[in-house]
Amino acid sequence: MPRTLPPLAALLAFEATARHQSFTRAAVELSLTQTAVSHRIKELESLLEIQLFTRKQNTTRLTDEGRTYLDCIRPALAQIAAATESVSSARDNRLTIASLVAFSSRCLTPALKDFQRLYPQIELRLTALAPTDRLEQREFDVAIWHGSDDWRDFDAERIADEDIFPVCTPELLESGPPLRTIDDLKNFPIVRTVSPIITDDWTVWLRQAGSSIDAFDREINCETLSFAMNAIVEGLGVGIGRSVLVRQDLASGRLVAPFEFRYASSAGYHVLSRPERSGLRKVQLFKRWLISTFGTAT
């Protein structure tokens, strides 16, 4: 292998062509001509002394060597992009917010107009987090995560104390059988979050409420909490709400809580930042706004 590094332009052309499996679509993405993309691929193939693609009957496919090379360089390209974004973000007024989808859709996004009004000079960049993500591998200024404040490598502040309790639409109660006791839940469709990663809050609420119910006759199983919340709001069944997520829905009457008992969870939503970024003014302003906006959710 040559000791000189391949030109970055050639690597980007290779990655885009491999992702699209098309020289034409790669050219559109990179704002180049198809000829220019083809020239950069040939330059890279000449440097590596391997064939990266096969081109037959208007189709473009990676060779075995090309796929191996792609698997090696793709993480490096992602790291370069993340590092560039990190340095750029730290020096300007762009604030990168990574958030779990349920919190983002139910809480953060609807409230961001207020933050923009207060701090119009801060440019926002929103990115989604999944419960399976490893935070240490993600680039952000602040992250909104759920758990019990056990993130050693981050500065974490709890956004609000959290209660969990059943919620549903008033229309579901009006059209269905009576829902006066916990046992009456057996007569309703139940929305549950079923995932190897996310713990279903129904189990702990039922146990703390003193119920022996361990299964329901009619369940709507959702892979993510965001899906589950959408199903509840659309009236598909009774589900468990987190106080932070359902505060606005309860206030507007879109959802109701059929039982008085609420379980105070040890977990909750937190806002995280890396120590080297916690002192940035944009990070401090956002944290302060976030906690003041959602800090009275229970």
Taking alpha carbons only, the member of 142, 108, 144 closest to residue 245 is 108
Question: Using N-to-C axis directions, what is the helix angle for 281-294 and 109-118, rounded to 10°?
Answer: 130
Residue 60 near residue 23, CB atoms below 8 Å? yes
Identify the bridge partners of residue 269 per DSSP, sorted by sequence position. Answer: 146
d(CA 281, CA 169): 41
Count of residues making up the chain: 298
pLDDT at residue 176 is higher than 90: no
Task: Say whether pTM exceeds 0.85.
Answer: no
Q: Mean of the per-residue pLDDT values for the chain?
A: 90
pLDDT confidence of 298, banded at 50, 70, 90? very low
Instruction: Please give the residue that has the higher pLDDT: either 84 or 68.
Output: 68
pLDDT confidence of 56, banded at 50, 70, 90? confident
pLDDT confidence of 91, banded at 50, 70, 90? low
d(CA 125, CA 115): 13
pLDDT at residue 100 is higher than 50: yes
pLDDT at residue 244 is higher than 60: yes
Residue 188 near residue 259, CB atoms below 8 Å? no
| Token couple for 212 | 């022996």
Average of pLDDT values for 99-106? 95
Q: What is the pLDDT of residue 75?
A: 87
d(CA 246, CA 253): 10
| Token couple for 80 | 């370069």
pLDDT at residue 197 is higher than 70: no
pLDDT at residue 87 is higher than 70: no
Question: Using N-to-C axis directions, what is the helix angle for 34-48 and 8-20, rounded to 10°?
Answer: 110
